[in-house]
Structure 1
């Protein structure tokens, strides 16, 4: 298989990250140099004192008064020493000295971390003693580490550019010498790892990721989204595809590399989980797809939907029915939604219409990556009869076009009260009704085979 094109990292984004880290270090140094000894002492105290940790009575008042440089009488005007948990901050107290104002405000705040989901947990949270001071020191350590990593990234990026310029090519996969090409690939992988390590421990990165407000073009968020997917949705997909035998009934195996999601328009606007049983009335509408990549690149994909549970009376077994093919789908890491208007619909969507008593039908959605990011060949399309939906060979189809399965999904349907209306709406023929009765002679079920005559058992 030819390798996908690997573009160089943007030097602008790397240098911008380096400038940000240097600017943060300079601002931290400026704040530290402009802070007076009294303010530093007060700041340490303000971060180490918690309301619930103070003793009751006058001891609390004396301790606070000594720290903020005021008398106990002045402090009692704003603070009830008998009840430290009910601190009253009035307009008058906020207009007091800067030391007292800052102490009261920081002491009052007890903001819970974003990881706490329930209101009960947020109310029960108590900030650890010395958290603010430890946070500032840890943030400074992270900033220094980020600065060092971005300096190394610049050196490694120059190294990769030097290798590419040495052979006068535009991309790593065009380097003619195998040894140099491998060296460039390894260096590019190290650059990506360093960019992730430089950002992943910062609180704002974690906060943006938890709130869902992030840019998938950045490697750190690609790494976090992939890790969450591999821990949850990917395991669920593989488990259900194997337990319900979608693998190997359609394709022999799958190693998921993209997160495929499916939903149907109408009232059910949520992304369905793999294997969900759906009403034929809902699945009559063409589904919407999402293909989430975990890299900053653009690729072409093909979506194929098949039903491997169509009864075949000729063989007394099952056959695979083709329901949909959409090719040349352009997807990038930051734009996962499938836009049908910019794709090539090879076979229109056929709504699921299971026959009565035929059991559950699995509708497998396979996502293939197109080789070399090129559209499917029209010459090969002409050699494959895509209009014949019956007995569709998805394995032969993928081999013919060199398609690589990178993702999948599936849902299930069975005959229900909406099936006949779906058949009538889309002009589909009337379905058969199956029973558990087993016929002993061919003449008993020849009525279901309109193309054969009674007595022509050899054709069956």
Structure 2
């Protein structure tokens, strides 16, 4: 018999390392016979106690090109309350889906009733029946159409409620994998735009910098419009991403060199039917010395842009109508506001856009406008309000808006020389009136 001797609590570092290594080697040699893998095991054992380099784990990017499925954060049984909550959400979604299916049956029957009444109205028109009979048939058709509109609105609400609280749906939308054909995904994206600050920031800048009412009396955006321009050289050199393009925050300052080429426009739309929009880019701060005021210059225009929730977010072929002229703030003037508007064109055969019209449409639900190209001589002094009034473009009923600011620098001279082909004007502030000019001209001392 022998007694185990307790080692001292504090050993010299070399001795402690030797004891740990020997103990490890002894335990491994006694546990199993030698194998071809023994050298690797010994090498791994001898590295115990050493400081290893931590390699950061990199998750692959998640997007529509690289999708990923939602996984439960907890396995079943770890937290029973979580399992019950998830089961409750699933059951509630199933109940709402069942109610939605019943409502869709009612909608289908109502659509059949609408088609019968529509056919009757057409027959009465061809037969040139009496005014009272045609009016009665038309009123019945409008009543059924109004009922259908309410039923479709309720169906959308039920579909949103049946999916919007599911964890996998919210995770999918928050990770940029939203399916814009699903009403629940569109509702979550619109809610994020309206409540997370992007729309608030845009409206704050539009009112702070007096875009409303200088350009238009009312602007109520219904879609998210983004502007992408060239990156500033300083930001490009100081950033790690080395991106050559940047997302323009509303109201920020850009250099004229960043907008020598047309900026890229992106729109997040939340309606499923294809509607037509007219794009404008205007500068309302061009000095007008004759009247000692300011006028507007039209930099860019493109009508009849088709947009829907499932269309590409990037707006293409924008330079095929009134071509782009780069911003050129005049020397000696304060900063210029550059306002980009995406105005909705009037709907076909109605005063408002409706879900019923969208469900029956086989093409665009907006009127096609034959807006002529604005010549160079008419760009200066472009009246935005008169233009929108003439073509029935109402920014108070939706659309998109964005704005940024620029001041003069040396690059503006190149725009006047190479693009506008005219001499560059120079302005200065008028001198302040001196109230003591008469006193200064009088002699101070009289002999």
What TM-score do the two structures reach when normalised by structure 2? 0.64
Residues 51-450 of structure 1 aligned to structure 2 (within 5 Å): 131-168=78-115, 177-231=141-195, 232-265=197-230, 268-341=244-317, 345-372=320-347, 373-374=365-366, 376-378=368-370, 381=372, 388-405=378-395, 406-438=399-431
* Structure 2 residue aligned with 1:11: none
Give deviations 1:403-449, integer Å, cap 9, x for gaps: 12222101111101322223333244222221223499xxxxxxxxx
Q: Is the 8 A contact 1:347 1:387 kept in 2?
A: no
Give deviations 1:259-308, integer Å, cap 9, x for gaps: 11111256552221111110000011101111211232221111101110
* Structure 1 residue aligned with 2:239: none
Give deviations 1:162-213, integer Å, cap 9, x for gaps: 1221121799xx9963332222111111111111111112111121122111
| Higher Cα radius of gyration | 2
Highest RCO, 1 vs 2 (Cα 8 Å, sep ≥ 6): 2
Q: Is the 8 A contact 1:329 1:344 kept in 2?
A: no
Give the match's secondary structure for 1:164.
helix
CA separation of 1:268 and 1:408: change in aligned 2, threshold 3 A: farther
Question: How many Å separate the matches in 2 of 1:221 and 1:170?
Answer: 35
CA separation of 1:169 and 1:424: change in aligned 2, threshold 3 A: farther
Q: Is the 8 A contact 2:276 2:344 kept in 1?
A: yes
* Structure 1 residue aligned with 2:56: none
Query: Shift in Å at residue 387 of structure 1?
Result: 5.6
CA separation of 1:419 and 1:277: change in aligned 2, threshold 3 A: same
Query: Shift in Å at residue 370 of structure 1?
Result: 1.4
Q: Is the 8 A contact 1:357 1:434 kept in 2?
A: yes
What TM-score do the two structures reach when normalised by structure 1? 0.62
CA separation of 1:166 and 1:195: change in aligned 2, threshold 3 A: same
Question: How many Å separate the matches in 1 of 2:187 and 2:90?
Answer: 20
Report which stretch shifted further, 297-306 or 277-286: 297-306
Give deviations 1:107-144, integer Å, cap 9, x for gaps: xxxxxxxxxxxxxxxxxxx9899754233322222222
Question: How many Å separate the matches in 2 of 1:260 and 1:323?
Answer: 18
Q: Is the 8 A contact 2:303 2:369 kept in 1?
A: no
Query: Shift in Å at residue 386 of structure 1?
Result: 7.7
User: After TM superposition, what 4+ stretches of structure 1 lie above 6 angstroms from structure 2?
Assistant: 126-130
Give deviations 1:41-63, integer Å, cap 9, x for gaps: xxxxxxxxxxxxxxxxxxxxxxx
Q: Is the 8 A contact 2:114 2:144 kept in 1?
A: no
Give the match's secondary structure for 1:412.
strand
CA separation of 1:428 and 1:375: change in aligned 2, threshold 3 A: farther
Question: How many Å separate the matches in 2 of 1:419 and 1:408?
Answer: 25
| Number of equivalenced pairs | 310
Give the match's secondary structure for 2:261.
coil
Give the match's secondary structure for 1:264.
strand
Query: Shift in Å at residue 145 of structure 1?
Result: 1.6
Query: Shift in Å at residue 402 of structure 1?
Result: 1.4
Question: How many Å separate the matches in 1 of 2:425 and 2:418?
Answer: 18
Structure 2 residue runs of 5 or longer lacking an equivalent are 1-72, 119-137, 232-242, 348-364, 434-447
Root-mean-square deviation over aligned CA pairs: 2.8
CA separation of 1:210 and 1:280: change in aligned 2, threshold 3 A: same
CA separation of 1:233 and 1:219: change in aligned 2, threshold 3 A: same
Question: How many Å separate the matches in 2 of 1:430 and 1:185?
Answer: 58
CA separation of 1:147 and 1:229: change in aligned 2, threshold 3 A: same
